[in-house]
């Protein structure tokens, strides 16, 4: 069983994140979305709210699970039996950071990182920009994924 962890803060989970998950599904049997608890980052939504929102979004998709974690992504991967880490790459700004973490995760745990380039229409969407818009009372529905209506 090929399992990937998709780790992140997801504060909030945007259409950019959703696009990476959807494009990752054909590559793996299972994707575990890991919502990281990072005490040093000030968050807008609580961990519980983030996990619930993402779970509701993928309620109809048995190949996607959502968990929270407060240790290293490689430790989560070990617990979940995952061999891969899935990440999205928006720009050269993301690149060096992702390369360093990927190298370290491979070295420490033999876990491969699979990077997907962001689709161009999502390249400028980040949780931090969405948080800022929310803080100033702007409508962000266009940037948040919505469950397809049955």
Residues that bind ligand ADP (CB under 6 A): 8-10, 14, 16-17, 20, 87-88, 90, 94, 118, 122, 125-127
Is 40 known to be catalytic? no
Is 138 known to be catalytic? no
Which of 9, 50, 87, 127 is flagged as catalytic?
A: 127
CB of 6 to ligand ADP, least distance (A): 7
Integer angstrom CA distances of residue 71 from 6, 11, 106: 14, 18, 17
CB of 150 to ligand ADP, least distance (A): 27
Q: Which residue is nearest to ligand ADP (CB)?
A: 16
CB of 103 to ligand ADP, least distance (A): 15
CA–CA dist 112, 102 (Å, integer): 7
CB 146 within 8 A of CB 14: no
Which of 23, 55, 79, 90 is flagged as catalytic?
A: 90
Is 127 known to be catalytic? yes
Which of 17, 19, 50, 87 is flagged as catalytic?
A: 17
Is 147 known to be catalytic? no
Integer angstrom CA distances of residue 51 from 57, 91, 112, 134, 150: 10, 26, 25, 19, 22
- Helix, coil or strand: residue 90: coil
Provide the 8-state DSSP code for 59: T
Active site residues: 17, 41, 90, 127
């Amino acid at each position: 069983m090929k399992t990937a962890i998709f780790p992140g803060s997801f504060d909030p989970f945007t259409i950019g994140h959703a696009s990476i998950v959807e494009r990752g599904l054909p590559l793996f049997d299972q994707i575990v979305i890991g919502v990281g608890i990072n005490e040093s980052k000030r968050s807008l939504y609580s961990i519980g709210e983030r996990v619930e929102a993402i779970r509701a979004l993928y309620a109809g998709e048995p190949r996607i699970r959502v968990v929270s974690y407060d240790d290293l992504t490689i430790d989560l991967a070990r617990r979940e039996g995952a061999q891969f880490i899935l990440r999205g790459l928006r720009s050269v700004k993301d690149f060096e950071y992702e390369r360093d973490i990927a190298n370290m995760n491979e070295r420490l745990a033999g876990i491969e990182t699979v990077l997907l380039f962001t689709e161009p229409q999502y390249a400028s969407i980040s949780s931090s920009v969405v948080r800022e818009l929310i803080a100033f009372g702007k409508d962000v529905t266009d940037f948040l994924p919505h469950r397809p209506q049955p």
